[in-house]
Amino acid sequence: MPSSSRSPRRAGAALASWRPAQWAAAGAGAALTAVLVGVPTAVVPSPFFGRTVPVQWWNYPVLAATAVLAGVVLATFVRLPGAADPPRADGPGSGLGPLGGLLSFLAVGCPVCNKLVLLLLGSSGALTYWAPLQPVVAVASLALLAEAALRRLSTAEACPLPARA
């Protein structure tokens, strides 16, 4: 196993060696994340959810980056046909991805539509205190997702895939 669980060079090499099935899993994971985060927060318009506070300009790039990073992280958990062992679910960075996804959901959501925030701060407190913190939460969520992807990809060589037939 490598001495460090984080290496941009090893992560890049792992991505460069991905098979089409891994890219398909990453694409499906990104699409699923975009729906699971974007629809309930009403960043992605739907007849099911609405918001009382308009979507902010930065919600769109945060949702897009969240979807891409989450898709990459999710794809590192997919077992490929012909692989000897499944990817480790408890490997480096495995806890950072879900935390980053949750924070992203909170970051792009309507500040006064969050029941917990409303209960704790009230609607004026949500707009006064929570709304200005949401971009900071968004940056933290993206940092956690990026770190999870970096750690998962950096250690991919510890369990190499069998040679192609």
If you average pLDDT over every residue of the chain, what do you get?
86
Lowest-confidence pick of 46-50, 76-80, 125-129, 160-164: 160-164
User: pLDDT tens digits for 79-95?
Assistant: 766 665 555 666 666 68
Question: Would you state the structure tokens that stand for residue 5, as one six-digit string?
Answer: 């669980």
φ, ψ for residue 69, nearest 5 deg: -65, -45
What tokens does 68 get? 């891409």
Please give the residue that has the higher pLDDT: either 4 or 108. Answer: 108
* Cβ–Cβ under 8 Å, residues 37 and 63: yes
Cα–Cα distance for residue pair 25/17, rounded to 1 Å: 14
Q: What is the pLDDT of residue 165?
A: 46
Contact status, residue 93 vs residue 143, Cβ threshold 8 Å: no
Q: What is the identity of the amino acid at 136?
A: V
Q: For 96-127, write each residue's pLDDT tens digit.
A: 889 999 999 999 999 998 888 889 999 999 99
Intra-chain end-to-end CA distance of the chain, in Å: 25
> In this predicted structure, what is the pLDDT of residue 83?
61
The three-point CA angle 64-31-25 to 5° equals 115
The pLDDT value recorded for residue 147 is 94
- Least confident interval from 10-14, 80-84, 160-164: 160-164
